[in-house]
Amino acid sequence: MLKRLFPHPWLSMILFVCWLLLMNDVSPGNLLLGAVLGCAISFMIGAGLWMRPVRFGRPWLLARLALHVLVDIVVANVEVALLVLGRTDKLRPAFIEVPLDSTHEIALTALISIVSLSPGTLCAELSDDRTRLIVHVLDLDDEAALVAQIKSRYEAPLMEIFAC
């Protein structure tokens, strides 16, 4: 019975505290309104707006993926700096299409974030059916190699981490 009324009690509590912090007032009216909002939002989310639970298949891969991303960001920063400081007329910007194997919300969000965080690349669009990712590249040398790198270096580990 209590679980049906408060499907996410920690979320209700966090929303309540956030409300009080935002209002910067602990009057009875704000206490009541914060409690009502916290419970109502938690109840609405519990009624079907919450994402499916996240299952980790091989969480230790997260450390290896984070290291790959960190190294790739540092290398891409140097490459982009050299490109920008050099002759910009030699840049070969392009849009590429990356076919996706994963449809998991969190894995796709992480993949989009990783690609967008790397200097020189930016995710422009995710197809409605979540099977293709359109990526803008500042300087494209080999499209097939870049697609293979994104799939093997980022998407495959994310699929293992989130048990897709």
Distances in whole angstroms, Cα of residue 146 to Cα of each of 47, 94, 115, 121, 154: 41, 12, 11, 10, 11
**Distance from first CA to last CA of the chain, Å, rounded?**
33
Best CA proximity match to 112, nearest among 158, 66, 160: 158
Identify the pLDDT of residue 11.
80
pLDDT tens digit sequence for 16-61: 999 999 988 889 999 999 989 888 887 777 655 555 566 667 777 8
Q: Which domains does the chain have, with CATH numbers?
A: 2-49 (no CATH), 61-161 (3.30.70)
pLDDT tens digit sequence for 99-141: 999 888 888 999 999 999 999 999 999 999 989 999 999 999 9
Distance CA 29, CA 155 (A): 49
Identify the pLDDT of residue 133.
95
Identify the pLDDT of residue 46.
62
The pLDDT confidence band at residue 3, using thresholds 50, 70 and 90, is low
What's 164's DSSP letter? -
Distance CA 161, CA 46 (A): 26
